[in-house]
Amino acid sequence: MEINLVSDTVTKPTQDMLRAMFRAEVGDDVYKQDPTVIELESRVAEMFGMEAGLFFPSGTMANQTAIKLHTQPGEQLIADKYAHVYNYEGGGASFNSGVSCCLIDGNRGMITAEQVAASINDPEFYHSPLTSLVCVENTTNKGGGACYDFEEFRKIRKVCNANNLKFHLDGARIWNALIATNDNPTEYGKVFDTISVCLSKGLGAPIGSVLLSDKATIHRALRIRKILGGGMRQVGYLAAAGIYAMENNFNKLPEDHRRAKELGAVLEKLNWVAKVEPVETNILIFSIQSNINEAVLMSKLKQKGISISAMGHGKLRIVTHLDYREVMHTYVLETLEKMIL
């Protein structure tokens, strides 16, 4: 039995999802004539209280489009030091938009309104880059699936309003955050200028993200998507997977969260584990004792058919997902409990 807990991006479409994809009505989405894509964009936009959406092949492209929409070359965005837009998008902020990043040392990837306010450059001090955008992530990837208190978003919004800044949400795992916090998704549209929503992580679609905003901003985003090479043709087959995922897989996310927490509880009892970070959603980050060889641990798990991620410096990551079934979970729990290093 091969058990891949490296990421929630490793899921594969079920037979029911594939049938929904095969049945999709399609058109040419570059001409905005694909009815299934239009339906997906409309559904996601309505759910999050936004006017419009635009389908993208990846969350990275959606985030990079948002940065391009809100900034000019030479300007600066504010984000946590763990932010995906800084760490895992290939330097796209500088390559695509010519902007620098002011990184905040937040808490598990989350920043506060007070920290944002303290990081804004004086717009009259022309020696420093002009601050124009704040980017946050919910849940936080490198922060171990942590979820923001929504009230902090409202406070950051006030800081943005007072300083003429735009506010973008990288919602790669927003579905997990909604399950964990029970927040009303329509409230997000009242706070953010743009939101990227991923369909290929917790929801289990094979590909796709949707960028949300007002109609005028999404119209501008269409041109940027074209420039970045994100214009696709009969992409309704993929959009259909996203619709199916929203309708059928969203309510399965609590199981991913439960299993991650149970894994964390087992790891906390093991003498070769130094620390288990708080588990809120489906991402579990833990550190091993300094005398334990990380490569040896990874090898032993691999021999047992279990794959996880090494983050360096003795820190490791486990991500539960739709394809991680209960029989696998029981096996992983038993394997960890018996492992001697």
Domain segments of the chain: what residues? Answer: 3-8+252-338, 15-249
Q: What's the pTM?
A: 0.96
* DSSP-derived secondary structure letter, 109: T
Q: Express each pLDDT in 96-105 by its tens digit.
A: 999 999 999 9
Closest to 77 in 3D by CA, of 30, 28, 116: 116
Backbone angles phi, psi at 127, to 5 degrees: -75, -25
Residue 341's pLDDT band, with cuts at 50, 70 and 90, is confident
Residues 6+ apart with CB under 8 A from 281: 139, 145, 146, 147, 173, 176, 177, 179, 180, 256, 257, 260
Residue 340's pLDDT band, with cuts at 50, 70 and 90, is confident
The Cα 59–Cα 217 span in angstroms is 17
The Cα 279–Cα 180 span in angstroms is 11
The Cα 65–Cα 62 span in angstroms is 5
* DSSP-derived secondary structure letter, 121: P
Mean residue pLDDT of the chain comes to: 97
Burial letters 152-188, b for 16+ CB under 10 A, else e: bbebbbebbeeeebbbbbbbbbbbbbbbbbebebeeb
Q: What is the CATH number of domain 15-249?
A: 3.40.640.10
Q: Express each pLDDT in 234-280 by its tens digit.
A: 999 999 999 999 999 999 999 999 999 999 999 999 999 999 999 99
Per-residue pLDDT, averaged over 121-126, amounts to 96
CA distances from 120 to 75, 230, 271, 272 (A): 11, 32, 44, 43
The Cα 63–Cα 86 span in angstroms is 11
Cβ neighbourhood burial of 122 (10 Å; 0-12, 13-18, 19+):
exposed
Residue 63's pLDDT band, with cuts at 50, 70 and 90, is very high
Q: Which CATH superfamily is domain 3-8+252-338 in?
A: Aspartate Aminotransferase, domain 1 (3.90.1150.10)
Residue 212, beta-bridge partner list: 53, 195
Backbone angles phi, psi at 76, to 5 degrees: -140, 140
- pLDDT at residue 57 tops 90: yes
Backbone angles phi, psi at 115, to 5 degrees: -65, -40
Cα-Cα-Cα-Cα torsion 26, 223, 229, 21, nearest 10 degrees, comes to -20
- pLDDT at residue 26 tops 90: yes
Tell me if domain 3-8+252-338 and domain 15-249 are identical in fold: no
Q: Express each pLDDT in 191-245 by its tens digit.
A: 999 999 999 999 999 999 999 999 999 999 999 999 999 999 999 999 999 999 9
The Cα 284–Cα 117 span in angstroms is 31
Q: Cβ–Cβ contacts within 10 Å for residue 22, how many?
A: 9
